[in-house]
Structure 1
Amino acid sequence: MTSWREEALNYHRYPVPGKIAIRTTKPCLTQRDLSLAYTPGVAEPCREIVRDPANADLYTSRANLVAVVTNGTAVLGLGDIGPLAGKPVMEGKAVLFKRFADIDVFDLEIDERDPERLADLIARLAPTFGGINLEDIRAPDCFVVLERLQAQVDVPVLHDDQHGTATILAAGLINALELQNKALEDVQIVCVGAGAAGIACMRLLLKLGAKKENILLLDRKGVIHKGREDLNPYKAEFATDRPERTLAEAMRGADVFIGLSQGGIVSPEMLKTMAPRPIVFALANPEPEIAYDVAMSVRDDLVMATGRSDHPNQVNNVLGFPFLFRGALDARARAFTDEMFIAAARALAELARTPAPASVARAYNAKKLQFGKDYILPKPFDPRLIEVVPPAVAEAAVRSGVAQRKIEDLKQYRVELVRRVDPSREFLDWIYDKARAHPLRLVFPEGDDEVVLRAAEEIARLGLAQPIVIGARASVLEAAKAAGVDAEGFSIMDPFEEGSLIESLAEAYYFDRKRHGVLRDEAKRMLRRNPVLIGTMMVRRGFADGMLAGRTDHYPNVLRPVLRVLGHDEQGRRYRVYGMYMMLLENAAYFLADCTVNLEMDAEALAELAELAAEAAASLGVQPRVAMLSFSNFGSVERPETKRVAQAVRILHERRPDLVVDGEMQADTALDARLLALYPFSKLKEPANVLIFPTMQAGNIAYKLLKELGGATAIGPVLIGLPKQVHVLATGATVDEIVHLAAVASARAGE
């Protein structure tokens, strides 16, 4: 079995050494491209920048480029290992900047130990960058470097060990104080660790309202007091004239303990002497100042945070620096200010007070992440961070007078931020907004399934639909309690309760199926044995607007009763039903049909499928461009399979001249404008976004390959052809997949 050390080394070595690389953002395929990228074309932006230096933001990558700088004198818990050995950490920082805020990074490892000379070197490099992130520079040198740079350069400079830690700690403390019913201006604070992080944290807490006389700062020699003669100017800021001298003395009656030092220095006895409802932030890593399990066993009135990911409430700087810089860069801030750090802290604290999306809970193997003693800070993978923190920082930059650009339209700015890190979310948000305008009554037959219950709760919370869960009431409530689900958000249809709908539904089912072998006495038993039948009958009789079912069963087993009940009109004429998936890629949404229902289709069925898929795309705000796919391009291969697709195209051109559709064509032709241009007669002038597959085998393979290899977000399967929004879930569907499909159902019905 591979050890953790081997896994870490292999991660950094393969498939290429390191974690970052430079990628070009402009084409360089032709001689003309080359002449634009370099000489002579490059001279034009140079002249524009000479004319106005602010034009560098228009013609270069500077406005989105941050320097991550170290001299390697205080690298993580490794200490003074030098600049070269610190490079993997700086590359890791670059990965986080890009992943969470779409910020580009150059990492600079500088072999200079003198803080003034180091600051001078960095300042001379400042024209290259939109911002500077100082990293792993020992105290007190880091204070000197930061102060000199702040005085010399006109770009925002942040020392993450100071400002990042302080911002996240402040956010967590705001919420911990709320839970413990205490006020910052009243609490007694003990902070162990008088280095860069400790001093920065105390400075920011003072700005937030803490009283200096209520703070005891300790270093390795004990309490920092005015009688000590060994204090540098930064420690001296917090020298006290109180009588406490040891950590044990300082802890007596303290409301808040903040540890930024070393593991194991706080004993259970010390913790017992703290004030009622204490707050402990034991942030030494990997071993906290007091072990989480020990602390929680000693005090049951405790709110605790650590620096570890395997305990609740991790104080993780990735919640800060990417979003602080994103807001600062977008506001073209000349500096960071305390107001910007406070704005970020308050935004983080407020975000933690709203329930985390189900996808975040799943990523952390939690049933639910909801504000409380075990959840006072958002998780790093919360997708809302990018749209919440940078706007708060940018606005604070304007208020504090350091912004060179005011963001006028904050709503549009949030859309742009989301698009930076997850382009598919913009489209999903549009669908969600449309769903909220027309929330359907959606029935969920699998009422005892934990995932379905979580999805129903999330759907109700987001206002996407009004969920109705089918199942024995006691069983549903028991399953909801076990899953940590609030059952208040959805209604329960219990088919075993007196006075339920089951009598009228059974009678209606009998009349619908009496000539198909169903007896009156048998109808009720059949429905009670099959919740999907109940759900379909509720839709048919108007007690629900739609249904999502099938997470715990095979697709055909669920589709059959759906078609039996809803697959025909009142006169018995059958609907032709098809399956479609929405595939969300980085810059576009595609609609793939038929991927799930019809094994083979004749020309008429293919034509109808194309019409229905185009209408579905249009109902979701997409202008449909339909490609009828095959292995032939416009008659290049004469086979019965290709002729059938070509015949479908002729039917469509005659029946729907308004529809942009053509074929038969190969998939690459449909998606590549260069190849499409070889067929100027085609009605498709731009790449297709609705792809019609000639067989289910082809469609099913294609959507799964796109999902697994292309990283697409798949929403579906969507049934098209039925008059109601009834959809059969993929077996094992996740909470997110169910929520997305519910949003699509409501959004389409509102059209």
Structure 2
Amino acid sequence: MSKGSNVEFSEREALLFHAGDRPGKLEIVATKPMATQRDLSLAYSPGVAVPVRAIAEDPAAAFDYTAKGNLVAVISNGTAILGLGNLGALASKPVMEGKAVLFKRFADVDSIDLEVDTEDADKFIAAVEVLEPSFGGINLEDIGAPECFIIEQALKERMNIPVFHDDQHGTAIISAAGLINALHLTGRDIKDCRMVVNGAGAAAIACTALIKAMGMPHDHVLMCDRSGVIYVGRDNVDQWKSAHAVETDKRTLEEALDGADIFLGLSAAGALPAEYVMKMADKPIIFAMANPDPEITPPEAREARPDAIIATGRSDYPNQVNNVLGFPFIFRGALDVRATTINEEMKIAAANAIAELAREQVPEEVAAAYGTAHSFGPDYIIPAPFDPRLMEEVSAAVAQAAMDTGVARQPILDMDDYRHRLRSRLNPTNAVLTSAFEQARAQPRRVVFAEGEEEVVLRAAIQFRDGGYGTPVLVGRDDVPDRLRELGVEDPDSFELHNSRNSPLVDKMVDLLYERLQRRGYLRRDCERMVNQDRNIFGALLLALGEGDVMITGVTRQFNQSLSQVMKVIDSSEDRRPFGIHVLVGKSHTVFMADTTINERPSPTLLADIAE
């Protein structure tokens, strides 16, 4: 069975998944029509000669006429595959294909995996260097240390496109994002903190370098390897480790952790005993990221220190340090401005964007994907990988940092438009709805949320208010503020709430409803019961009394039930018939279909009226 995840599967299932009808996880799909002879002539000979000449005259035109600007190479030699070690280039191919799939799924970046069969750093560099014309960026993966440092540095110096070793910098960026929020929750300043890093491999060194770049003083960090603390003058320390050596009389991990604020582990399972945790400062921050099993499990750490904030690399514990939060969107932003590199400022911008996103209200998509509610706090300092806002927030932050630091060859002139395109890139529905959202912001309304006790409705109301679309008017009982607080709302009492059992509007509502329904055989007590017990009746009456402009309902009742209740209160406009409409959104077009819910056999006249 699988380890390191709360998703269980057998080895046979994993093999069948990767085999299937078409072995592997990738295929090439044409983006232009290939249906006629004319299509073929344009795609290849003789039509292809035109962009060839254009690129020969201006190399930058390759971004306009080829896939280069959205194409990343995922490259490995298989010397450090996941937690499996050196199994060779060919064995790394399933991982590299998987990486390419993640690029496409999360950021619509096309990528091709390339497995280079050499452990010679110079040969590897030479093989990758000459590929620059083909790609917009290079993602290095699963390459052992110290060769990974040599390879990345040489390629960054020789190539004029972004080169990014995700095992180093991806882990560093997500760790830094989590650390920003952990510091925020514990009221610390990064400049005053003391950190112990256990592990001195590629990821540990990259994490340490980035955190120092964000403001942690060099002498506030103690790095440990298998031989203990790396201090100035210690023998058998290579140049990458020695860059983080400090003057100290501490020699062991246990000594180093005495009074430390932060433990950053990228070492081995069980490397952090509970008794060491007891020696750390108040509210210790523990990032135990050994793969597949952490240096200490969250239950063990919390038993030793209930005040600790804990993150791991595993999905079955809170606060997973998952690289998929970073690399797809970092490359998205870098590619979109045709960046020549991914520099420290771009990494810091990504870390800050990810950290800020975790502090915002969690959208319904994330709650649905994980089956539980999340809100910013000790168990939610890092956003979930399926948060759809990562695409916009991280990519835009990286693109802006590239422009600010002068490494963008094609600056973005309209960031609002760019953000809109990012939102629409993976979800065409966003493109259709954005204009509606903008109109809503321009003309904010009071919207009655008739089922205000339902979590999905409360999330919608929160996003409606935070998005600046208007004022949510909630219909529900007195425990609604408590539910809002559970969803991370700091000021739940600021939401307008109407309880149908004690609202001062009830008498007026009953009078209005009785006046409408008495000739249909309804008694006054029937109207009182409906007002007190039926949320759709109560919500519609809020509209009728001018307390709201729009009502949203239908989560707990079928459509026809909800409509019949509303129609007891509100009539259709004069000379008009109510109708239902569905919007079908495709990649290339949008279809509006009506009537789909109310009028079973609409006449030509009614259809014309609906269309109008």
The question of a shared fold, defined as TM-score above 0.5 by the shorter chain, is answered with yes
Question: Are the equivalent residues in 1 in contact too, given 2:595–2:602 (CA < 8 A)?
Answer: no
- Supply the distance in 1 between the matched residues of 2:47 and 2:484 (Cα, whole angstroms): 64
- 1:636-655 equivalence runs, <5 A: none
1:481-525 CA-partner distances (Å, limit 9, x unpaired):
66666643532222332x611111111112222222123454323
Question: Are the equivalent residues in 1 in contact too, given 2:572–2:578 (CA < 8 A)?
Answer: no
> Are 1:381 and 2:386 an aligned pair?
yes
In the alignment, which residue of structure 2 is the partner of 1:467?
472
Question: Relative to structure 1, is the Cα distance of residues 391 and 28 closer, same or farther in structure 2, using a 3 angstrom cutoff?
Answer: same
- Alpha-carbon deviation of 1:80? 0.5
SS at match of 2:555: coil
- Alpha-carbon deviation of 1:77? 0.4
Question: Are the equivalent residues in 2 in contact too, given 1:192–1:258 (CA < 8 A)?
Answer: yes
- 1:257-656 equivalence runs, <5 A: 257-367=263-373, 369-473=374-478, 475-477=479-481, 480=484, 487-497=492-502, 500-567=504-571, 575-611=576-612
Question: Are the equivalent residues in 1 in contact too, given 2:537–2:568 (CA < 8 A)?
Answer: no
Gaps of at least 5 residues in structure 2 are: 2-7
SS at match of 1:171: helix
- Supply the distance in 1 between the matched residues of 2:526 and 2:245 (Cα, whole angstroms): 84
Residues matched between the structures, number: 605
1:159-187 CA-partner distances (Å, limit 9, x unpaired):
11111111121122122112112222221
Question: Are the equivalent residues in 2 in contact too, given 1:460–1:490 (CA < 8 A)?
Answer: no
Question: Relative to structure 1, is the Cα distance of residues 209 and 64 closer, same or farther in structure 2, using a 3 angstrom cutoff?
Answer: same
Question: Are the equivalent residues in 2 in contact too, given 1:449–1:479 (CA < 8 A)?
Answer: no
- Alpha-carbon deviation of 1:212? 1.6
Question: Relative to structure 1, is the Cα distance of residues 411 and 470 closer, same or farther in structure 2, using a 3 angstrom cutoff?
Answer: closer
- Of 482-491 and 268-277, deviating more is 482-491
1:422-456 CA-partner distances (Å, limit 9, x unpaired):
22212223222222233332333334433333333
- Supply the distance in 2 between the matched residues of 1:587 and 1:133 (Cα, whole angstroms): 31
Question: Match of 2:111, as an amino acid?
Answer: V
Question: Match of 1:564, as an amino acid?
Answer: K
- Alpha-carbon deviation of 1:317? 1.0
> Are 1:74 and 2:75 an aligned pair?
no
SS at match of 2:411: coil
SS at match of 1:137: coil
- Alpha-carbon deviation of 1:382? 1.6
- Alpha-carbon deviation of 1:255? 0.8
- Supply the distance in 1 between the matched residues of 2:126 and 2:22 (Cα, whole angstroms): 34
Gaps of at least 5 residues in structure 1 are: 612-751
SS at match of 2:161: coil
In the alignment, which residue of structure 2 is the partner of 1:6?
12
Question: Are the equivalent residues in 1 in contact too, given 2:288–2:310 (CA < 8 A)?
Answer: yes
- Supply the distance in 2 between the matched residues of 1:555 and 1:419 (Cα, whole angstroms): 29
- Supply the distance in 1 between the matched residues of 2:236 and 2:465 (Cα, whole angstroms): 60
1:55 pairs with 54, 61, 76, which one? Answer: 61
- Supply the distance in 1 between the matched residues of 2:27 and 2:183 (Cα, whole angstroms): 43
* TM-score after normalising by structure 1: 0.77
SS at match of 1:89: helix
- 1:144-155 equivalence runs, <5 A: 144-155=150-161
- Supply the distance in 2 between the matched residues of 1:208 and 1:482 (Cα, whole angstroms): 32
Question: Relative to structure 1, is the Cα distance of residues 39 and 267 closer, same or farther in structure 2, using a 3 angstrom cutoff?
Answer: same
In the alignment, which residue of structure 1 is the partner of 2:113?
107
In the alignment, which residue of structure 2 is the partner of 1:97?
103
1:206-228 CA-partner distances (Å, limit 9, x unpaired):
21111221111111222122343
- Supply the distance in 2 between the matched residues of 1:8 and 1:146 (Cα, whole angstroms): 32
- Of 409-418 and 460-469, deviating more is 460-469
- Supply the distance in 2 between the matched residues of 1:472 and 1:409 (Cα, whole angstroms): 45
- Supply the distance in 1 between the matched residues of 2:529 and 2:346 (Cα, whole angstroms): 64
Root-mean-square deviation over aligned CA pairs: 2.2
Question: Relative to structure 1, is the Cα distance of residues 30 and 435 closer, same or farther in structure 2, using a 3 angstrom cutoff?
Answer: same
Question: Are the equivalent residues in 2 in contact too, given 1:424–1:588 (CA < 8 A)?
Answer: no
2:30 pairs with 15, 24, 27, which one? Answer: 24
- Alpha-carbon deviation of 1:67? 0.9
In the alignment, which residue of structure 2 is the partner of 1:668?
none
Question: Relative to structure 1, is the Cα distance of residues 551 and 296 closer, same or farther in structure 2, using a 3 angstrom cutoff?
Answer: same
- Alpha-carbon deviation of 1:405? 2.0
Question: Relative to structure 1, is the Cα distance of residues 447 and 149 closer, same or farther in structure 2, using a 3 angstrom cutoff?
Answer: closer
- Supply the distance in 1 between the matched residues of 2:78 and 2:253 (Cα, whole angstroms): 30
- Supply the distance in 2 between the matched residues of 1:551 and 1:95 (Cα, whole angstroms): 35
Question: Relative to structure 1, is the Cα distance of residues 249 and 411 closer, same or farther in structure 2, using a 3 angstrom cutoff?
Answer: same
2:211 pairs with 205, 212, 216, which one? Answer: 205
- Supply the distance in 1 between the matched residues of 2:22 and 2:493 (Cα, whole angstroms): 52
In the alignment, which residue of structure 1 is the partner of 2:40?
34
In the alignment, which residue of structure 1 is the partner of 2:5?
none
Question: Are the equivalent residues in 1 in contact too, given 2:375–2:487 (CA < 8 A)?
Answer: no
Question: Match of 1:551, as an amino acid?
Answer: V
SS at match of 1:169: helix
- Supply the distance in 1 between the matched residues of 2:604 and 2:412 (Cα, whole angstroms): 53
- Supply the distance in 2 between the matched residues of 1:542 and 1:174 (Cα, whole angstroms): 46
- Supply the distance in 2 between the matched residues of 1:135 and 1:96 (Cα, whole angstroms): 13
Question: Are the equivalent residues in 1 in contact too, given 2:69–2:136 (CA < 8 A)?
Answer: yes
- Supply the distance in 2 between the matched residues of 1:493 and 1:393 (Cα, whole angstroms): 44
Question: Relative to structure 1, is the Cα distance of residues 226 and 435 closer, same or farther in structure 2, using a 3 angstrom cutoff?
Answer: same
SS at match of 1:132: strand
1:644-683 CA-partner distances (Å, limit 9, x unpaired):
xxxxxxxxxxxxxxxxxxxxxxxxxxxxxxxxxxxxxxxx
- Supply the distance in 2 between the matched residues of 1:339 and 1:312 (Cα, whole angstroms): 28
SS at match of 1:335: coil
1:696-734 CA-partner distances (Å, limit 9, x unpaired):
xxxxxxxxxxxxxxxxxxxxxxxxxxxxxxxxxxxxxxx
> Are 1:229 and 2:230 an aligned pair?
no
Question: Are the equivalent residues in 1 in contact too, given 2:152–2:163 (CA < 8 A)?
Answer: yes
- Supply the distance in 1 between the matched residues of 2:400 and 2:467 (Cα, whole angstroms): 27
- Of 405-414 and 101-110, deviating more is 405-414
- Supply the distance in 2 between the matched residues of 1:565 and 1:229 (Cα, whole angstroms): 84
- Supply the distance in 2 between the matched residues of 1:393 and 1:455 (Cα, whole angstroms): 29
Question: Are the equivalent residues in 2 in contact too, given 1:226–1:239 (CA < 8 A)?
Answer: yes
SS at match of 1:90: helix
- Of 427-436 and 160-169, deviating more is 427-436
In the alignment, which residue of structure 1 is the partner of 2:198?
192
Question: Are the equivalent residues in 1 in contact too, given 2:136–2:162 (CA < 8 A)?
Answer: yes
1:79-98 CA-partner distances (Å, limit 9, x unpaired):
11111111010011101111
In the alignment, which residue of structure 2 is the partner of 1:170?
176
